[in-house]
Amino acid sequence: MEDPALQAILIHDKSLPGKIAEGSEARDLLDQQILVLGAQLVNQLHILLKTVRIHDRTNAAVNQVVDATVTTVKTLARDNPVVIRLQNDFLYLGDAHLKMGSQQVAIFLEFIDSLNARGIGAISFSAEMQEVDLREFAYRFISVDPATCTFDDLKRQLKEGEIHGIDIEEATSLMIRVGQKNKQLKNLAKQLYVKAVAAVGEVLQSVREGRAPNFRQAKRVVQNMVDVILQDEPTLLGLTTLRCYDEYTHNHSVNVSLLSVALGNRAGYPREALVDLGLAALFHDLGKTSIPQDLLNKSEEFTDEEWEKLRIHATLGVINLVRLRGLTNLPGRMAAAAFEHHLNYDLSGYPTLSMPWELSLTGRILMVADCYDSMTSSRVYRRDPIAPNKVLTMMFAKSGILYDPVLLKLFVNCVGIIPIGCLALLDSHELAVVIRPSANRQTAARPCVKLISDRSGNPIDGPEVDLAEKDPDGRFKCSVVRLVDNTEYRFDTGRYFA
């Protein structure tokens, strides 16, 4: 991920970003590389904080990571300091969201926890910072016990240490703080999501490298996900709107698994069957491991020939599964998920069939979940994402043709007719994100929302509001006036679920 050549250029010519036109391809590339360096800085800070816990100030390992971190800071800091900001449990480099690769998820979460525990909203490093400052900062940072000390105690410590070029900022009230219990469940859900992404990543990597994959870990994660879904479906489904992982396939696989389990649950599957379904859904695109990465990641439109190649992934999925698990060991649901997910309800999709075919329930569930996630996310075949409510409308227009009509109706109960993740303008002129569907079918158009901006459009960490609730006079307190297209404004509602 690191690019020494780019680092060298940036060190050599710090005015480079100013010389390259905004919006140009070169600028995009440079911005991307700067974000890579930002993620690298988080990595290095994480290692530094770990290293200073076990070694003293003169240790070579400490010096090594201090030197490397200072180099990154000096590369990134031009006239202005480098600022790592924490907002709503996401890290930013300045104003740019730092995306994490599946390898970095645990590191990012741990680093975020260490900032959260100390009430830190941002750390800035200026180009004047020296090795001695960073080393002192790290030791003072870990010496402050979050259980007993406040942000001000840490600030005082840094001042006493005469540290130059590093500053910390306190987390503001704008940052989302939810109730402790709610937070615990959310944390559990998020951890599971992260584990699932990692498990998919590992299996797909093994398959790509021709090693026997270990499905056991993936199965354990799916079992836990099923248990959470049975308790609190919207919390996990909310995570499907997160778009913070750079490996689209891993992200998509986990989302499809969660949506399939939720739908299977509505269709009356018992727990064990839900686990099988979730696991099958997690690997429905396994065939893509046999398709060249540069074709999958291609940014231009596909040619007819390339589409042909992509379409084989459904058949390749079954072949891979048979090869990996053996014909007698292969669960039917896994084969069905891989083979049938692009077939369409009327069998008009692919692979082309040369004999009569009866679709399995797994396949029909997968068609709905796969299509919903693909259309609402931005990465599938590089198409622009479509707002969740519009996706549902489009899917209903093809009910009974592309999708099983009964399952589609059940699916709406999972995500809501105003689906989770939508951005809604209320008659109070406040803006809100849909966080769960209404508990009652009669009030399906009145989901639970979280207020995110006040009447004047200022961002707020607002309360959760049940739009189906009435005031003492029997009138609804608030209603949705219209849905705002969050994808048009590139507004990432996913962060409200993290």
Which chain residues interact with Fe ion by CB under 5 A? Answer: 285, 370
Of 70 and 218, which CB lies nearer to Fe ion in the complex structure?
218
DSSP 3-state of 66: helix
Spatial distance between the Cα atoms of 316 and 318, rounded to a whole number of angstroms: 5
Shortest CB 341 distance to Fe ion, Å = 5
Shortest CB 342 distance to Fe ion, Å = 6
Shortest CB 416 distance to Fe ion, Å = 22
Shortest CB 366 distance to Fe ion, Å = 8
Shortest CB 496 distance to Fe ion, Å = 25
**155 contacts: CB under 8 Å, gap ≥ 6:** 168
Shortest CB 490 distance to Fe ion, Å = 23
**97 contacts: CB under 8 Å, gap ≥ 6:** 90, 91, 244, 492
Spatial distance between the Cα atoms of 342 and 28, rounded to a whole number of angstroms: 34
User: Which residues of 387-447 form beta strands (DSSP E)?
Assistant: 423-426, 431-436
298-310 residues labelled b (16+ CB within 10 A) or e (exposed): eeeeeeeeeeeeb
Shortest CB 86 distance to Fe ion, Å = 32
Shortest CB 193 distance to Fe ion, Å = 17
Shortest CB 304 distance to Fe ion, Å = 18
DSSP 3-state of 41: helix
Question: What element of type H or E holds 386?
Answer: none
Of 370 and 430, which CB lies nearer to Fe ion in the complex structure?
370
Burial of 270 (C-beta count, 10 Å sphere; 0-12/13-18/19+): exposed
Judge whether 461 and 176 are in contact, CB under 8 Å: yes
Spatial distance between the Cα atoms of 258 and 333, rounded to a whole number of angstroms: 16
* Secondary-structure breakdown of the chain: helix, strand, coil percentages, each rounded to the nearest 5: 55, 10, 35
Of 178 and 312, which CB lies nearer to Fe ion in the complex structure?
312
C-alpha angle with apex 26: 21 to 30, nearest 5 degrees?
100
Of 285 and 430, which CB lies nearer to Fe ion in the complex structure?
285
Q: What Rg value do the Cα atoms of the chain yield, rounded?
A: 25
Of 136 and 285, which CB lies nearer to Fe ion in the complex structure?
285
Spatial distance between the Cα atoms of 3 and 75, rounded to a whole number of angstroms: 12
Of 89 and 373, which CB lies nearer to Fe ion in the complex structure?
373
Judge whether 193 and 239 are in contact, CB under 8 Å: yes
Spatial distance between the Cα atoms of 34 and 57, rounded to a whole number of angstroms: 30
User: Could you say which DSSP state residue 403 is in?
Assistant: B
CA distances to 213, 281, 333 from 274, rounded to whole Å, are: 22, 10, 11
Of 138 and 314, which CB lies nearer to Fe ion in the complex structure?
314
Judge whether 266 and 412 are in contact, CB under 8 Å: no
Phi and psi angles of residue 50, each rounded to the nearest 5 degrees, phi first: -75, -45
Shortest CB 251 distance to Fe ion, Å = 11
Structure tokens at 259: 């949506």
Nearest CA to 76 among 48, 42, 102, 111? Answer: 42
Of 317 and 421, which CB lies nearer to Fe ion in the complex structure?
317
Of 100 and 259, which CB lies nearer to Fe ion in the complex structure?
259
Shortest CB 195 distance to Fe ion, Å = 20
Spatial distance between the Cα atoms of 52 and 43, rounded to a whole number of angstroms: 14
Of 146 and 349, which CB lies nearer to Fe ion in the complex structure?
349
Shortest CB 259 distance to Fe ion, Å = 11
Of 14 and 379, which CB lies nearer to Fe ion in the complex structure?
379
Of 166 and 367, which CB lies nearer to Fe ion in the complex structure?
367
